Amino acid sequence: MKNNKLRKYVEKYEKSIEEYGNKLDLIIDNINKSLFNEKLITVKSKINAQETIVRIIENQMTNSYLIPVFTDLKEFNKLKEEIDFEQEGSTLSPYITDIHEFIEIGLTDPKFEGIIINPSSQNFRIEINSVIEYNSKYLKEQ
């Protein structure tokens, strides 16, 4: 499974902050469109037969969190190698989903702040509120 467009737009955004100036909104719009048109890879942990999507705690005091998203399995494996998650009976595995699952989480859990794309390399953060807003705009245009 490849998310080449999402990866391409995130890389373009990173490289073009100074170069593109006012065109950044267009790049962000392309990133949003890619989020809605591609499958996304995140991480599930399984501890004693219970599976949950892995969260990265953003703020210890409020327990707000981000969910890591990967453009491909190579990026997923980078994170898996970096973190020490080996507890007895635990495993990490890729979980393929789409942006709508994250929108659902964002609508029901105020502690969910957003997604972080390729946290081991690009570390590109997207606020869930902007995704929800884009989704509303996208649905109106259809």
The 10s digit of each residue's pLDDT in 85-137 is: 555 567 788 999 999 999 999 999 999 999 999 998 888 999 999 898 888 87
Chain segment 22-74, per-residue pLDDT in tens? 677 777 788 888 888 899 999 898 877 788 898 888 888 899 999 999 999 99
- Residue 110 forms part of a structural domain: yes
- Residue 25 forms part of a structural domain: no
- Residue 23 forms part of a structural domain: no
> Nearest-5° angle of CA 49, CA 40, CA 64?
70
Exposure of 34 by Cβ count < 10 A (0-12 exposed, 13-18 middle, 19+ buried)?
Answer: buried
- Tokens describing residue 69: 């998203």
- Residue 16 forms part of a structural domain: no
Total domain count for the chain?
1
Please list the residues that pair with 53 across neighbouring strands.
44
- Residue 90 forms part of a structural domain: yes
* CATH number where 91 lies: 3.40.1350
Report d(CA 142, CA 67) in Å as an integer: 28
Look up the pTM and report it: 0.79
What is the domain extent for residue 130? 39-136
Report d(CA 88, CA 91) in Å as an integer: 9
